[in-house]
Structure 1
Amino acid sequence: MKILETNLKEGRIKLRVENLDDLWYLKSLLRRGDRVAGIGHRRIRDEERIRADKGERIPVFMEIKVEEVEFSGYINRLRITGIIEKAREDLIPLGSYHTLNIAIGNEITIIKEWKKWELERLKEIEKLSKAPLILIACIEEGECEIAIVRSYGVDFVARITSSATKKRAREFNAEMKKFYHEIARKIGEEIKKSDLKIILCGPGFTKENFYKFLKENYPEIAKLCYIEATGCGGRAGVQEVIKRGAIEKILEESRVTLETSLVEKVFERIARASPLVAYGMEEVKKALSYGAVEHLLVTDIFVRQKKGECDELIEKAERLRSKVIIVSTEHEAGEKLQSIGG
């Protein structure tokens, strides 16, 4: 994400969306009642033509008051729905509803009363967007799960299988080579989309064999690879790599790894009935009143649904200089935190 213009006196910040992660971060920043200005496409009918005329979709600059925000990683879009407050009145009736479809490369302006934590979050987002993403390929004989670890969670992009069997060595070797080429092709597609570093993991020696294959056939991919052993394959193997902190060995800062580590500590302390953890609104408020909070964890869902209560908690934590972490519910740890109230 690139911050293009800032006018805090008017509460206006203009941004450019540069990758898929930025779209999710925008969802976590936007709340009901905020205003968003950008280019929307509206169907304009020519009233002088026949009634069957459906009109022409044209680009129109507009400002809407946000009512609903929906992120879709599958179509790489952020849908912002609200009431049109500013636009060309000769084209669009003010007060009507419209959905802005925000995609990578689009520019929008957010108008709101910015909280201190929101501005800090925005700076953090801009910094994180410049870091490379991690691709994890969890490989075992006959199966490979490929995932991208994004700032907001884990995106499982492909599952590649092979029918290779060791009954006939020649056929097995040919099938495995075909299997490896297919994995390399998919990884190559993802490299074209994003700046990546790659972790090859999985049980047994298949990952080492695949790495050797890459060095011989796809050296440009092999240069990006790190190898990690796991006790299991598939999606469980991907989660094992994340929980173990292997990503931190490659990147100085990984948002998903940080959030996962902190949430795991919360549940470890809950399991031990430790006095060094508080969860639930009343218990957290009590801990803050005692000035005894090092990290305040809140989920993105809590931020959007409990606006007043959330702002109160975060502002108290900031006065105490506690570290505030907004945890994404797009990954496993965030779902666990949401399950105990967010």
Structure 2
Amino acid sequence: MRVLEVDEKRNRLRLVIETPEDLYYLLLLVRRGDIVYAWTTRQLRIERETGFERGERVRVYVGIDVEKVNYSKFTKAMRLTGRVVNAPEDLHIKGSYHTLSINVGDEVEILKRSGIGALDREVLARATSIIRRLLLISIGDDEITVGILSPVGVEIRSSVPYYPRRTDRDTSIRETIVPALTQHLELLKSHYHFEEYEDIVVLTTERLFEAVEEALSKTGIKARVIKVSEGGEAGVYELLRRPDLRPMFAEIRSLVEAQEASSLIEELFKGLRRVITGLDAVEKVSEWGVLEKVVIADDVFFDENTRDRVLDLLDKASSAKIILVDSESEVGKVLKKLGGAVAKLYYPLPNT
């Protein structure tokens, strides 16, 4: 994300969305009641003697008073809906509802209703840090899983079967695996545009290691090959858990924070009274200044029914470390079962 302006006096932010991950951060910045300006298209209304009729769609710069925020983590699409507060007079749309679709490359201006707070500054700091994206390819005996690791989490993009060559005679692993694997890697290379990623990490088992290296050489793919106990999707999650590989991902904030979240959940299962679970319980103590760390499943934040509650909680717990975890990750799935939120207190409370 490129920050063009932070005007503390006017409570104004001007930003450019540079990557799909930036929309995730924009979601953290925009709240109900904020005024958001962006370029959009609007259909003209042409006045005739017989009444109004529809004209062509034109590109216009409008501002809306945000009432609804919608974000899809799978399609990486954001839509902001609200009443138009500023637009060209000849459009006659002031006061009507309009939806802004925000995409990569768009410039957005936000007038913060409640001012630019500590959480906003933290989000801007994260969003403008170096964005490092890794492509993960996990190869098993008959399945290839592709995932993308970015600052906002790991996303499994595909998990597809591949079919090693079958013969009637005894053949080596190399003879059965390499041809099919080479073909699939060529397809992945054209589909995922490998040049867009900082690094490519290929995961495979000890048994397939040499065959995978040969297939990579045949396709000209330069990648770091790491041995895991199992290929496919399980191999991706094994990679993220392994402490010996953490230095490789030191710049990936999402992985570091997921590890922190996992440690916090382990403390809970050990029966430590400094850890509380559930959004209701965390909300209850958020005003008491006892929250040291708060971990929230991002689905709770994306849900329109709970998003405002989460934002209020984050405001009250401004001194605490806030961690948003991908709900589809291993840690996120556990977190959802615990009520979507876990928090660590500075000290145990009598009734916790």
Quick check: 2:132–2:198 contact (8 Å CA) kept in 1? yes
Q: 1:231-242 to 2 correspondence within 5 Å?
A: 231-242=229-240
| TM-score for the superposition, normalised by structure 2 | 0.81
Q: 1:170 to 1:138 in 2, by over 3 A?
A: closer
| Partners of 1:327 and 1:171 in 2: CA distance | 39
* Structure 2 stretches lacking a partner, 5+ long: 342-352
Change (3 A) 1:249 1:187: farther
SS at match of 1:310: helix
Distance in 2 (CA, whole Å) between partners of 1:100 and 1:232 is: 44
Q: 2:272 aligns with which of 274, 277, 294?
A: 274
Structure 2 residue aligned with 1:305: 308
Closer, same or farther: CA 213–284 of 1 in aligned 2, 3 Å:
same
Counterpart in 2 of 1:329? 327
1:72 matched to which residue of 2? 72
> Is the contact between residue 42 and residue 59 of structure 2 (CA under 8 Å) also seen in structure 1?
yes
Give the superposition deviation at 1:282: 4.2
Check whether the contact 2:159–2:233 (CA below 8 A) recurs between aligned residues.
no
Partner deviation per Cα, 1:138-183 (whole Å, 9 max, x = no partner): 1012320111112223322233422224434499847742432322
Higher mean C-alpha deviation, range 23-32 or range 59-68: 23-32
Once the two structures are superposed, what CA deviation does each residue of 1:282-301 show, in whole Å capped at 9, x if it has no partner? 4686598475x543323443
Q: Give 3-state SS (helix, strand or coil) of 1:326's partner.
A: strand
Q: Is the 8 A contact 1:162 1:176 kept in 2?
A: no
Gaps of 5+ in 1: none
Which residue does the alignment assign to 2:348?
A: none
Cα shift at 1:61:
0.5
- SS for the counterpart of 2:80 is strand
CA RMSD, aligned part only? 3.1
**Structure 2 equivalent of residue 12 of structure 1:** 12
Within 5 Å, give how 1:1-342 maps onto structure 2. 1-48=1-48, 54-112=54-112, 113-127=115-129, 130-168=130-168, 169=171, 173=175, 176-191=178-193, 194-218=196-220, 221-222=221-222, 225-245=223-243, 248-280=246-278, 281-282=280-281, 289=288, 291=290, 293-300=291-298, 301-302=300-301, 304-306=307-309, 309-315=312-318, 318=319, 322-329=320-327, 331-341=329-339, 342=341
Give the aligned residue type for 1:147. Answer: G
Q: Deviations over 1:28-82 (max 9, x none)?
A: 3222222211101111132339889642111110111112222235544211112
Number of residues of Structure 1 aligned to a counterpart in Structure 2: 330
Q: Following the alignment from structure 1 to structure 2, what is the Cα–Cα distance between the partners of residues 52 and 66?
A: 28
CA displacement at 1:242 relative to structure 2: 1.6
| 1:123/1:103 CA distance change after superposition, 3 Å | same
- Cα distance in 1 for residues equivalent to 2:186 and 2:49: 55
TM-score, length of structure 1 as denominator length: 0.84
Q: 1:294 to 1:258 in 2, by over 3 A?
A: same
